[in-house]
A = this chain, B = another copy of it.
């Protein structure tokens, strides 16, 4: 069965700083019509930086939407025209000061394809070289160093629940074993 839904018309409901929202009228595969809300997002990248001693460098920051600090891999949004790997290199440098000799592609994820087009690419970075971090205006975070195995334990015990971080750590564990 072809499940394709076709756009009939659409209306922009919100045009913000990072996201915009449209409400489209669509035709379902049975010919009936319904409404689909879509949150449009530029997409992002996440990087798990792993040094030669088996330590990773994580970022603790306050996440206003969930009202709490979270521990996540260094990450950021894709600027228009930038590619994923360039964004990964830039965000790793901005947030932690590190550059890396090797970026291993761990794949990507749709964060929530029921209502948003956001896609995040994740990398494992190895061969780290320390430089100086340089955060964006209004960006505050702490970098925390820990053994990869400790981080993996935190993911499996549900102490870290940011989706891109869970995916990067789980895939890295399966990749590295």
Binding site for B on A (CB under 8 A): 1, 3-5, 13-14, 16-19, 21, 23-24, 26, 28-30, 32, 34-39, 41, 44, 60-67, 69-70, 72, 77, 107-120, 138, 140-142, 156, 158, 161-164, 166-167, 170-171, 173-175
Check if B24 sits within 8 Å of A64, measured CB to CB: yes
The listed residue with most B CB atoms (<10 A of its CB), out of A61, A64, A77, A162, is A64
Residues on the B chain within 8 Å of A29, using CB = 62, 140
Residues from chain B with a CB closer than 8 A to the CB of A36 are 64-65
Q: List 30 A-B contacts (CB under 8 A).
A: A3-B60, A3-B61, A3-B142, A14-B14, A17-B35, A18-B37, A18-B115, A19-B37, A28-B138, A30-B140, A36-B64, A38-B64, A38-B65, A41-B112, A63-B110, A63-B114, A72-B113, A107-B158, A107-B161, A108-B158, A111-B111, A112-B120, A156-B171, A163-B163, A163-B164, A166-B167, A166-B171, A170-B170, A173-B174, A174-B174
Known contacts A109-B166, A156-B171, A162-B110; A138 and B21 CB within 8 A of each other: no
Q: Which residues of B contact A162 (CB under 8 A)?
A: 109-110, 113
Measured between beta carbons, the chain B residues less than 8 angstroms from A173 are: 174
